[in-house]
Amino acid sequence: MQIGNWQVDLINDCWLRLDGGGAFGLVPKALWQKHLPADEDNLVPFSSTCLLLRGYGHVALIDTGLGYKMPPKMQNLWRVDRSAGGLIETLQTLGLQPHDVDTVICTHLHSDHAGGNTKLDEQGRLAVSFPNATYFVQEREYQDAMQPNERTRATYNEENYRPLMDQGLLTLLDGDAEILPGVEGIVTRGHTPGHMCVRISDGEEHLVFVCDLASLAVHFENLAWMAAYDVEPLHSLENKKTWRNWAIEHQAIIVFPHDVNRPVCRASIQEDKFVLQTLNERWVNG
C-alpha cells in the first residue's frame, strides 16, 4: 500500500492460537464462533501483524510480533507457526537486515507485540533485535510494564523492553506525537492505559493501525465486543466510537493486528449501519 511517500507492508511474525474466551471476553461463544470457529481446545487463530514503513529515507516497524526467544514450551502453548517465515526472515526476503531498521514504534508492550524488540544472540545472551533503531513507546505504557500487577504480569516481560532502556535506545512519549513525517502515535487507552494507535496520513490518504483497540475486524464492527485482556473496557468502547467516526470521515484504511481473514478494511455507513469492507491487501509472507 502507498500512503503518500510511505510504502506500507504487512508482515505476519507468526500464526498463533489463543483461547476464544480471552479473545472475546463477555461475548457468548454461540455468537463469536460464527465469526471465528474454535478448535477442540477452544483455541482460535490469530495473526501477529507488524507494519513495515519505507519512505523519506526511513525503514520503520510498527510492533515486532512475538519474537524468537520464547521457550519451546511457551511456543507450543501458543501454537506458534512460522512456516511462512517470521519478521526477520521476511525482512531479509525484502532485502533488509535488522541493522537497516532505524525506527520501531511500539503500540504497547504486551509480549505478542513487543517480543521481537529483543532476541537471544548466538551465545544465548539477551540482545536488541534492531540495534540502529530508536524505539518509541508511551511513558505510561513503559511504567505499567515495569510495574505489572497480578492481572497484567503474564502479558509483560521485562526482557522485551528493559534492554532498550539500558542501551539508551528507548524514547518515552508523553501523549500524542508525530514520530516520523505524517506518522503519529495517538494514545487510545482501553486495552492498556498507555496503548496507542498509529496513524499514517498525507492529507489525502489515511491509514490507521488500530492495534488492540480492535484486535479483529469484528471487534470494530461490534462496539460491545472486546477482548478479555482489555484493562479499561469502557475506555476501549469510547475510543472505538471516536475512531470509527474518524475512519468514516476520512475513508481511512484500517489494519487489525490479529485478524487472520480480514487484516485490512475500509469503513463506510450503509443504510445507517457501520460496515467494514475487506480489502485485498495481505501479508508480504502470507
List of residues contacting Zn ion (CB under 5 A): 110, 212
Residue 144 in grid coordinates: 505499567
Cα gap 232→286, rounded to integer Å: 33
CB of 114 to Zn ion, least distance (A): 9
Minimal distance, residue 195 CB to Zn ion, in Å: 7
Closest of 209, 194, 200, 195 to residue 178, by C-alpha: 200
Q: How far apart are CA 83 and CA 85, in angstroms?
A: 6
Contact 156, 195 (CB under 8 A): no
Query: Nearest to Zn ion by Cβ — which residue?
Result: 110
CB 226 within 8 A of CB 176: no
4 vs 215, which CB is nearer to Zn ion?
215
Strand order in the sheet with 253-255: 177-180, 183-187, 196-201, 206-209, 253-255, 264-270, 273-278
Find the shortest distance in angstroms from Cβ 200 to Zn ion.
Answer: 20
Closer by beta carbon to Zn ion, 193 or else 201: 193
Q: How far is the CB of 257 from Zn ion (least distance, A)?
A: 8
Other CB atoms within 10 A of residue 94 CB: 14
Residue 226 or residue 247: which is nearer to Zn ion going by CB?
A: 226
| Backbone φ and ψ of 173, nearest 5° | -95, 140
Residue 144 or 212: the one with the smaller Cβ distance to Zn ion is 212
In the complex, least distance from residue 56 CB atom to Zn ion, rounded to whole angstroms:
28
Q: Which is nearer to Zn ion, 59 or 217 (CB)?
A: 217
* CA proximity to 155, closest of 95, 74, 216, 101: 74
CA-closest candidate to residue 61, choices 76, 48, 51, 75: 51
CB of 74 to Zn ion, least distance (A): 16
Task: State the minimum distance, in angstroms, from the CB of residue 95 to Zn ion.
Answer: 30
Which of 206/235 has CB closer to Zn ion?
235
Residue whose grid cell is 509480549: 111
Which C-beta is closer to Zn ion: that of 69 or that of 110? 110
